[in-house]
Structure 1
Amino acid sequence: DARLLAALQQLLKCFRCDLGFWDACYTTETNCSFGERCYTGRGKAADVLDVKTLGCVKAEECNVETMVELFPDKTVFVMTKHCCDTPFCNSAHKLPIQALLYLTVALLITWHISEASAVSQ
């Protein structure tokens, strides 16, 4: 059916990143579902850690603050998803997975040290 083919061609392609810190995000490409838009989500965890996600989202979730749980300790942060509607409009700096891994380990060690020093005071 020509209408189905036209609808499938209109589905957006966006960058996807499940979790990034500051502008460091390991990105892949994803196809959105019908009616979804690309988004860049930004939030702050523990008032110091800038968190970023990328992907597809329903239009009604755009520019709405949502609460998100992070890590096993249920750190909660507020995230706002900023949307756009052209292919790959939510671009991010591409980063090799090893660099993201090193950055994540460094952040967790820094956080653990700061938590330990806060407890000992």
Structure 2
Amino acid sequence: MNRLVQSLPVALLECFRCDLGFWDACYTTETNCSLGERCYTGRGKAADVLDVKTLGCVKAEECEQETTVELFPNKTVFVMTKHCCNTPFCNSAYKSPIYTVLYLTMASLTTWKIAETSTGSK
């Protein structure tokens, strides 16, 4: 009986993944989490202006934890909190094709301006 239980495959949680999105515009793919991981939606604000978002899998102990993310050496660009869930694709990204180009353009311009300010360029 033990052999039968041990040979059954373990179903891994499936989630959406987005490495970095702005507002609700996020290019997503599908991913399988590792054993013990949950789906998450990470939300934060860059330079107190730009809403950033990430999606993916995370260890359960990292859920609801606030972390700082640095894009430039010694410059904290944003603080993010990962909100977790544990059903397949529960971290779905809002998709609005009409506004995606606008959001990505605004995000690129804002990111460029933040980078310019951080490096001291004029």
For the 8 Å contact 1:27–1:95, the answer to whether it is kept is no
Tell me: CA distance 1:28–1:112, structure 2 relative to 1, closer, same or farther (3 Å).
Answer: closer
Tell me the CA shift for residue 95 of structure 1. 6.0
Match of 1:5 among 8, 13, 24: 8
Counterpart of 2:109?
109
How high is the TM-score relative to the length of structure 1?
0.76
For the aligned residue pairs, the C-alpha RMSD in angstroms reads: 2.9
Tell me the CA shift for residue 103 of structure 1. 3.7
> How many corresponding residue pairs?
113
Over 4 Å off, 4+ runs: 71-75, 110-116
How high is the TM-score relative to the length of structure 2?
0.75
Mapped to 2, the partners of 1:26 and 1:95 lie a distance apart of: 11
2:69 corresponds to 1:68: yes
Letter in 2 for 1:78: V
Identity percentage over the alignment? 71
Deviation digits for residues 53-80 of structure 1, max 9, x if unmatched? Answer: 0000000000000011236895521100
